[in-house]
Structure 1
Amino acid sequence: MTPELDPVIHAQARLRVVVTLNALPEGDQITFPGLKDLLGMTAGNLSVHLTKLEEPGYIEITKTHRGRTPVTYVALTRRGRLAFENYTAAIRELLDTAVTPPPGDNS
């Protein structure tokens, strides 16, 4: 049976976001502009993908102020880390069960 890949994480841009956030120690967060610059995404594009990840509870967005300047932080939740672990396990299973056809077999 083929493992299911989480469609929320599987989209290329969201996978890049989750991989980046997963590299942070649990409980750490990154600023929205920092994440945007790190990924080379536009603010609008990143915002759309963060909303998709926030809906199932994979990320948490926190807004605060540094003096008068608003700052948005993004963090991967425990649920997001588990979803990513399950996603990577499914990818590994797909790769481990891939069958290579014998040479000359074009079917």
Structure 2
Amino acid sequence: MTGELDPIIHPTNRLKICAMLATATTVEMSVVKDTLGLTASAFSKQVAALVDAGYVTQERSQIDSRRIWLTLTREGKRAYRDHVAALQAIVADSTRTT
């Protein structure tokens, strides 16, 4: 753990996307978008930031090209794990001082 929050993952919707992808092998893009309740444009921007960082990959369905599947990469899994550990450390520190 680096002990620092990841600025790519930290925004709430990106954190939620990573959390969903961390619990599954792949998730259909529309399922993630609908679960978050974001507009297509807002969701696209959040996914693009994760893809650009190398944390998420997108793959079109071979059967129906309108369906896109999202997967957390190995680097994305590590970054998510480290980010969650940093959040947990912040919470643990705050409960010790209270």
TM (norm. structure 2) is 0.85
Determine which structure has greater relative contact order: mean sequence separation of CA pairs < 8 Å that are 6+ residues apart, divided by chain length.
2
Q: What amino acid sits opposite 2:17 in the alignment?
A: V
Tell me the residue number matched to 1:88.
Answer: 84
Unaligned runs of 5+ in 2: none
Residue correspondences, number: 94
**Cα distance in 2 between the residues matched to 1:63 and 1:94:** 38
**Cα distance in 2 between the residues matched to 1:39 and 1:94:** 25
Q: Secondary structure at the match of 1:10?
A: coil
**Rg larger in structure:** 1
Tell me the residue number matched to 2:51.
Answer: 54
Say whether residues 1:42 and 2:63 are aligned partners.
no
**Cα distance in 1 between the residues matched to 2:27 and 2:92:** 34
Unaligned runs of 5+ in 1: 101-107
CA displacement at 1:70 relative to structure 2: 2.7
CA RMSD of aligned residues (A): 1.5
Tell me the residue number matched to 2:8.
Answer: 8
Q: How many percent identity over aligned positions? A: 29
Cα-to-partner distance string for 1:49-77 (whole Å, 9 max, x where unaligned):
0010011111001123425x432111111
CA displacement at 1:41 relative to structure 2: 1.5
**Cα distance in 2 between the residues matched to 1:13 and 1:5:** 15
